[in-house]
Amino acid sequence: MANKFFPSTLTRKQYLIRCLIVFAVLLAAFLFFVAAPTGDSVHVAGILLQIVAIVAFVYNIIGLSIPRLKNAQLNVLWVLLAVIPFGVLVLFGMCAIVREKV
């Protein structure tokens, strides 16, 4: 089961589909936060949104970007782009565009 969530390599199509799923989960959490009525439910929804965002970010790095970089035969150290501002967008673009090398 762990191999389904954390595969050793990902093709470009698998990477994009999984990124869309992560984006949909983040969007659902954000909409839940926006739709929450005032009071304590806003606080709970805010905490839930933060937790979902952190888990999605970590999964994007460990479960998606690293296997995709391995499949494209690029150095895994490119994942360090995620720690600089807007580096995640560069990393996403690189993982989405680079073709698999045979």
Quickly count: other Cβ atoms within 10 Å of residue 64's Cβ: 24
Count the domains in the chain.
Answer: 1
92 in a domain, yes or no? yes
Handedness of CA 55, 58, 64, 67 (dihedral sign): negative
Spatial separation of the C-alpha atoms in residues 98 and 66, rounded to whole Å: 13
59 in a domain, yes or no? yes
23 in a domain, yes or no? yes
71 in a domain, yes or no? yes
Predicted TM-score of the model (pTM): 0.77
24 in a domain, yes or no? yes
pLDDT recorded at residue 76: 84
The SS3 call for residue 2 is: helix
21 in a domain, yes or no? yes
Tokens 């762990």 belong to residue: 2
pLDDT tens track, the chain, 102 positions: 567 767 788 888 888 898 999 999 999 999 988 887 777 778 888 888 999 999 998 888 888 888 888 888 888 888 888 778 888 888 888 888 887 765
pLDDT recorded at residue 23: 93
3 in a domain, yes or no? no
| Domain that includes residue 16, residue range | 10-97
Closest CA to 18 of 29, 27, 8, 6: 6
Quickly count: other Cβ atoms within 10 Å of residue 8's Cβ: 9
91 in a domain, yes or no? yes
pLDDT recorded at residue 43: 84
